[in-house]
Amino acid sequence: MIYRFGAFTIDEGKVELRRGETVVPVEPQVFALLALLIANRDRMVSKTEIIEKIWDGRFISDAALSSRVKSARQAIGDNGRDQRWIKTIHGKGFRFVGDSVVEGGNARAAVSDAQPPMSASAPAQRGRPSIAVLPFRLVGAAGPYAGVADALPHELISALSRLRWLFIIARGSSFRFRVADPDVRDIGAALGVRYVVSGVVEVVGERITVTVDLADARNGGVLWGDMFAGRVDDVHEIRSRIVASVIAALEAHIPQNEAREASITAPENLDAWAAYHLGLQHLYRFNKADNAVAASMFERALAREPDFARAHAALSSTHFQNAFLQYNDDLAAERTAARRAAEQAVALDPLDPFANFAMGRVSWIEQDPAAGINWLDRAVKLSPNYAQGVYAQAWADTVSGRSDGGADGIDLALALSPLDPFRYAMLGVRAFTRLIADDEAGAARWANEAARSPGAHVLIAAIAVALNDIAGDENLAAQWAENARGRFPGLTRADFFSAFPFADGDLRRRIDSALSKHGFS
């Protein structure tokens, strides 16, 4: 993304701050801070989030943070008195203010103002997100493979119909738009959908290439795109890979886009789905303050639609996070609330993968992960490409000692959703699967990557303590121990095993010994 404000430009691709055509030299952390603030210019960024994103959650003093903010202001001609660009929210955080222009990426801001708004009565303006999958355009002499151009979108429609949070236009309607260069805005208006998937299939000799795009039908902006290539003989394997990738991309990009739309809507005008998606954005920041905001958004959604199964599942997730990370003192009450909300979600929509995922995770905080495995298995059966469900299933397999299926499962989860908000947790599971496979060095390597990933909480740092010690790197283990104590001074081994209830056995004993060695009581 490229952001322009005043005489300045922040170019994320080139990692440059420019004044006019002149590059302004700044330290990497100062640039990262500026980029973080302007990317989230619609809201305040808390001190906690800044530390998590810029310093990977390491303990830093207020003076160090203030020094970076001061340097950022100086680089763009601002100061603490005028606060023309960076505003201090005393005791809480900072916000980027003033006019700015966004370029690159999906270029939504550049095109939205040029398009007239859709009718307020159009389905695309209300309720859950809606999508149409168009027939793909065929290029080249496809011969016997010509049917792929229709078969792929047909498979996508069938797979997307299993996502309970998405309204899918039937093939009979969307396949009427068989044009060479579709205008997604016109198609969106005609079908009453917010999103359109289109693609191109090209066959040249023995090679087949498929390009797929996801666009916002309200302004024509492309939210995601990818290209898949291989030998025509492998067309069926390519089809499976495309379907899995598109499902995972939609699971990530549509909620993000819905949350962006909701963030510029007055709270009193949020419908249930908008409040839900805005809540998800806060839920996945993994800190106490944002988790509380997420809970309020899900409660707002339920006040408008009491039978909204996904909002109940999401509310269960906020209580899960409260108990898992011990945000509140009454952990028993949080566990009870998490179970109650998950049970309500499943009762309202037993076929929703997210509802089953929420139900399965409740057993983790109740110290009985094996009891949740059937729910997580069900979530994956309902939606085989549901990355978070696959991850949770792999994690439950790992901590409960159910075979060695966790390794394959976590590799699949990471492949399905490489930028998932739970990526740090997925990497943590991969670390444990390497330890189970007696690859101690690999286990430590993946634990370090997990602990350095965005959103990684203090318990992931504790994983890095244990696995580095087991791998023989006591110095790095000690560094992670200092990091963990700086973020949670009273962290104990009991806290760790309360969150990660490993079955009794050699794995648990080795982790316990390593944590004890580094001073965790």
Residue with tokens 């010994």: 513
List, for residues 13-27, the tens digit of each pLDDT value: 778 899 988 999 888
The proportion of the chain whose per-residue pLDDT surpasses 70, expressed as a percent, equals: 91
Report the pLDDT value the prediction gives residue 116, as an integer from 0 to 100. 31
Largest CA distance in the chain: 70
Binned at pLDDT 50, 70 and 90, residue 265 comes out as: low
Listed in sequence order, the DSSP H helices in 127-234 are 148-160, 171-174, 184-191
pLDDT band at 111 (very low <50, low <70, confident <90, very high): very low
| Contact status, residue 124 vs residue 217, Cβ threshold 8 Å | yes
Tell me: pLDDT of 343 over 90.
Answer: yes
CB atoms within 10 A of CB 320: 24
**Residues 276/413, Cβ–Cβ less than 8 Å:** no
Judged against a pLDDT cut of 50, whether residue 204 lies above it is answered with yes
Domains along the chain with CATH numbers: 2-103 (1.10.10.10), 120-261 (3.40.50.10070), 266-384 (1.25.40.10), 399-521 (1.25.40)
Q: How buried is 490 (Cβ within 10 angstroms: 0-12 exposed, 13-18 middle, 19+ buried)?
A: exposed
Average pLDDT estimate for 196-219: 87
* Sign of torsion over alpha carbons 54, 60, 61, 63: negative
Give the residue-averaged pLDDT of 42-65.
Answer: 78
pLDDT at residue 124, as a whole number: 39
Mean predicted confidence (pLDDT) in 131-144: 81
> Which of 510, 355, 361, 363 is closest to 432 using CA atoms?
510
Mean pLDDT, rounded, for 154-171: 81
User: What is the structure's pLDDT at 56?
Assistant: 62
Q: What is the mean pLDDT of residues 450-469?
A: 92
Each residue's pLDDT tens digit, 355-404: 999 999 998 888 888 888 899 999 988 888 788 888 888 888 888 766 55
Check residues 131 and 403 and name the one with the higher pLDDT.
131
Q: Residue 458 above 70 pLDDT?
A: yes
Looking at residue 382, its pLDDT comes to: 86
Mean pLDDT of the chain: 84
Residue 252 dihedral angles phi and psi, to the nearest 5°:
-90, -50
- Per-residue model confidence (pLDDT) at position 103: 64
Residue 287 vs residue 341, higher pLDDT: 341
- pLDDT value at position 110? 29
pLDDT reading at 446 higher than 80: yes
Least confident of 208-212, 216-220, 265-269, 357-361: 265-269
C-beta of residue 98 within 8 angstroms of C-beta of residue 84: yes
Phi, psi at residue 293, to the nearest 5°?
A: -65, -40
Provide, rounded to the nearest whole percent, the portion of the chain with pLDDT above 90.
29
Residue 49: pLDDT band with limits 50, 70, 90: confident
> Which pLDDT value is given to residue 445?
94
- Band of residue 181 on the pLDDT scale cut at 50, 70, 90: confident
**Residue 171 pLDDT level (bands cut at 50, 70, 90):** confident
Residue 295 has pLDDT above 50, yes or no: yes
Q: At what angle do helices 387-400 and 369-382 cross, to 10 degrees?
A: 150
Whole-angstrom distance, CA of residue 346 vs CA of residue 323: 21
Please give the pLDDT value at position 108. Answer: 33
pLDDT at 503: 82
The arithmetic mean of pLDDT across residues 229-258, rounded, is: 82
Q: Average of pLDDT values for 110-124?
A: 32
Residue 340: is its pLDDT beyond 90? yes
Q: pLDDT grade, residue 114 (50/70/90)?
A: very low
Name the DSSP class of 122.
S
Say if residue 90's pLDDT is above 90. no
